[in-house]
Amino acid sequence: MAIDYHNLRNWKFEDRVDRYTARDCMIYALGLGYGGDPADDDEFRYVHEEGTAVVPTFLATLGAPNGWAADPATGIDWVKILHGEHRMTFHAPLAAAGAVRSQTRVTRVVDKGAGKGALVVTVRDISDAGSGRPLATVEHVSFCRADGGFGQGDEPPQALPPVPDREPDCAVLLPTLAQQALLYRLNGDLNPVHALPHMARAAGFDRPILHGLCTYGMAARALLRACAPAGTQRLAGISARFSAPVFPGETLRAEIWRDGAHLQFRVLAHERNTVVLSNGVAGLAQ
């Protein structure tokens, strides 16, 4: 079944309300490697119940309409879908416990041409469930490798810029644990390619791979460490393109270019010197 542009463009999602606790925030932070140095007070506050700080990308784990693209009515060959880009804008700091409302809509369906695939962009507006205060906007860009050529579509989203053609202003090395994907999946993404060796091999990998959103969250961790220590500033947004998988146990190297509150970055698997997150853009707010 091919993509029907109008059907997909007007896809209806149910609103979701998700409740979370400080324990959920701490599990997310542990899944990003926080707490590896118990003497690091700045990072320890993300993994302790007293005055728990929240990594803003925690909101990537709440409210996503998981599995919707597998509905045959979408016309998407969901087995061949890839998470192409992830863009988050943060409107307010997140409390360590509460409830959030998520409202999702399809904003773009882009036909790249027969044999070239399609892009499907969803936007998720996240607000405080009680007050309605906006908390974040999440833009999820899916690359549907097998679904181009349906003949009608929207313009693609504005391209994320490449990093500057000069040496980065700083770099942050972050080790990953051999069991990091098993930790990160406790946030709710139970895709077996991240846990079961035979499923990873069926997907073309010799062993389970790390969740892309874990790498994304670790990029946020690196940006906070390098550019906003001790909570002096917060992330206003972070966007990046997924370029290559990470294998648990590898070291990540986040290279950062800074121009005031405007940040650009990329993340590499350090031992392989392979870019795994590219075209990274982020901003800082007071």
Which pTM value belongs to this model? 0.95
Q: Are residues 142 and 272 in the same domain?
A: no
The CATH number that applies at residue 98 is 3.10.129.10
- 142 and 38 in one domain? yes
Write out pLDDT tens, residues 75-126. 999 888 899 999 999 999 999 999 999 999 999 999 999 999 999 999 999 9
The string of DSSP letters for the chain reads ----HHHHHT-----EEEEE-HHHHHHHHHHTTTTSSTT-HHHHTTSSSTT----GGGGGGSS--TTGGGSGGG---GGGEEEEEEEEEE-SPPPSSEEEEEEEEEEEEEE--TTT-EEEEEEEEEEETTT--EEEEEEEEEEETT----S--PPPPPPPPPPPSS--SEEEEEE--TTHHHHHGGGS---GGGT-HHHHHHTT-SS----HHHHHHHHHHHHHHHHSGGGSSEEEEEEEEE-S---TTPEEEEEEEEETTEEEEEEEETTTTEEEEEEEEEEEE-
Residues 264, 137 share a domain = no
In this structure, the answer to whether residues 93 and 140 fall within a common structural domain is yes
**pLDDT value of residue 1:** 66
Say whether both 61 and 44 belong to one domain: yes
Same domain, 168 and 103: no
Let me know whether 144 and 273 are in one domain.
no
pLDDT of 121: 97
Mean local confidence (pLDDT), 57-65: 96
Q: pLDDT for 25-48, tens place per residue?
A: 999 999 999 999 988 888 999 999
Q: 86 and 201 share a domain?
A: no
Residue 6 has pLDDT above 70, yes or no: yes
Identify the domain containing residue 227 by its residue range: 159-285
Report the catalytic residues: 189, 194
Q: Average pLDDT of the chain?
A: 95
Task: Kindly state whether residues 147 and 249 are assigned to the same domain.
Answer: no
Pair 131, 185 in one domain: no
Residues 118 and 169 in one domain: no
Whether the predicted pLDDT of 239 surpasses 70: yes
Domain count, the chain: 2
pLDDT band at residue 229 under the 50/70/90 scheme:
confident
Q: What is the pLDDT of residue 50?
A: 94
